[in-house]
Structures are given as structure tokens and as C-alpha cells.
Amino acid sequence: MFETRPDRDAEVVLVGRSNVGKSTLMRELTGHSFETGGSPGVTTEPNHYDWTSEDFLITDLPGFGFMSGVPEDVRERIKTDVVRYIEENAGKILVGVLVVDGKAVIDIIDRHSGEREVPHDVEMFGFLQELGIPAVVAVNKMDKVDDRDERLDELAERLGLYPPWQQFDETLAPISAKRGSIGPLEAAVRHHLHEQQRDDLFKFF
């Protein structure tokens, strides 16, 4: 179980599969580099970034889902830990940012859409909503996507949102973390912070 969480009352969490660029996004948001494993699934503990003078925390949770070379029981344990962490801190999490790979996410969701199977990303999106945590989907690596609007419409549909995706700009944020292009995500996070009367945290986004 993750026991390292600093004692802060306001938090934004990043969740998502392995290798979708969460650590790069974390670096863009905080200006701080974190130790990340060279291969997917090496990060098994949350990376917390807190400002000592502020009652606020950004947390990059370990990636879940398939990781080559990682045994299934370890993968399941990580996913269980991530779910439990979100449940236990739900009252303090102001925004949950689900990071997906814009190029691969539709294929991954469709591949796991068999009978009785909910794809991890769709499941996590629903889970955040069930807990009453505003969810923003950061659709990363969009610089590698050609049919941008079509791809975002398809993703919206699979998340149960009616296309066109543009009407959900506080939920779907196309970004390219590696290129430092994260404006839509910052705007979406600010929207949800404002709804919760936390404009004081705008300076972090």
C-alpha cells in the first residue's frame, strides 16, 4: 500500500496506463524531474510533488494495465493499490487527470471491449465520476495523430460523451506533453478548480 502521501488537503492526481507519458506531463506541470524506470511499469509507488508552503499536492500514480515483462499478479496489485489510493483520498482529490495515448487509445479500448470486460481507461473514467471526482482526460501525444478531430470524437463516444468532442473541452484535453503543449489540460483543470472555489491554485496550472 502507498504510505508516502504528504499530509495535504488538496490534490490533483494523474492516472493512466503505463507508457502514456504521465511522468513527462508531471515534469511539465511541476518543472521537476522524477526518477522513472527505463521500462514501463517500473514506477510502482506514487510520485508526489508538494509545495511546502501550500496545502496542495500533485501526484503521479503508477501506470496500470499490460506491461511487458511484468507478471500479472504485480500488475493487478498495482491497479488495486491505485484504486484504493483514489478511494481513500477521494475527499481531497479536486481533479483526476486520466492520461491516455492519443495515437493508441482507441485500439486499446476496442481490443478490450469483449463481453463482461470494461477497458481500463473507460473503467477508470467511470470510477472517478462515481467517486464524485471531476475527471479530465489528457489525450497525450496528439502531435503524432493526423485525424485529430475524428480521433477525439471516437474517444468521446467510447467514454459515453456525445460527439463532437469540442463541447467537452473541460473533460477532453488534447495535449503533447513532450512538446510542452499542455494548455488545454491546464484550462480544463482550472475550470474544475474554479467550480470548487479553489482559484488560489490557478498559479500551479
Answer yes or no: are the C-beta atoms of 192 and 136 closer than 8 Å.
Answer: yes
Q: Looking at residue 36, which CATH number applies to its domain?
A: 3.40.50.300
Residue 160 lies in a domain: yes
Q: Which domain holds residue 119?
A: 11-204
Q: Give the list of residues 6+ apart from residue 156 with CB closer than 8 angstroms, or none.
A: 162, 163, 164, 165, 168, 172
Residue 1 lies in a domain: no
Per-residue pLDDT for the chain (205 aa), expressed as one digit of tens each?
Answer: 566 788 899 999 999 998 899 989 999 999 887 665 555 555 678 889 887 778 899 999 998 876 777 788 888 888 899 999 999 999 999 999 999 999 999 998 898 777 677 788 999 999 999 999 999 999 999 999 999 999 999 999 999 999 999 999 999 999 999 999 999 999 999 999 999 999 999 999 9
* Cβ burial, residue 131 (10 Å; 0-12/13-18/19+): middle
| 46 CA to centre of own chain | 13
Residue 91 lies in a domain: yes
Q: What is the spatial distance between Cα 20 and Cα 40, in angstroms, rounded to a whole number?
A: 9
The count of structural domains within the chain is 1
Backbone angles phi, psi at 23, to 5 degrees: -65, -35
